[in-house]
Amino acid sequence: MSRTIKEIMAISPIVPVMVINNVEHAVPLAHALVKGGLKVLEITLRTPAALESIRRIRAEVPDAIVGAGTIINIETLNKAIDAGAEFIVSPGTTDKMIDAALATGVPLLPGIANPSQAMNLLEKGITEMKFFPAEAAGGVPMLKSIGAPIPQISFCPTGGVSQKNVKEYYNLSNVACVGGSWMCAASLVDAEDWDEITRLSIEAIVLATG
């Protein structure tokens, strides 16, 4: 049964933002994250391994919900959907790309950085958005400011979120989940330290919700 983006955002408090350079790391990385309680995974389309990584995780890690990030145009949108992405995430928006994404019916989490962009998406019926780049775009104070006049929008702040500030973001009333990458840092993945990735995933949930 297909899920809405709102339902997907409610599954885990933190969405790992994954940059996969070696496709052989995709499945063990996904298993490590899921084992740590992080089931919603965003694989960024920043490397040649990304699309095949989505395919493999979909096939071999049934408990994971795999999405594609860095969707910046219709070409990357179509490639991600063809690879089996269960949701799509964009760093920003264009009307052409957003309209095409909505037409696919695949759950969409589009990125915004200010109230005007949020209002433009709200006019299209979109109420779940990525706030990116979170820290550079004003961080927690900006999200509070947007939430006051536009309380119907829920966000997933991503970009600069860390172990130090994840709780501050997650505690906001208009934040449904938080995107982060520290639990799947390149150094850990390259070292194939899956146990540490699981430990950091468990810790991340505690940091956000505890």
Q: Could you confirm whether 130 is annotated as catalytic? A: yes
User: Over the range 148-177, which residues count as b (16 or more CB within 10 Å of their CB) and which as e?
Assistant: eeeeebbbbbbbebeeebbebbbebebbbb
Tell me which of 39, 42, 86, 128 is the catalytic residue: 42
Strands, sheet with 40-44, edge to edge from the N-terminal-most edge strand: 108-109, 87-89, 65-69, 40-44, 14-18, 178-180
Tell me which of 130, 144, 167, 196 is the catalytic residue: 130
Beta strands (DSSP E) in the chain are 14-18, 40-44, 65-69, 87-89, 108-109, 111-112, 128-131, 154-157, 178-180
CA–CA separation, 80 and 67 (whole Å): 8
DSSP three-state, residue 156: strand
CA–CA separation, 105 and 101 (whole Å): 7
Positions marked active-site: 42, 130
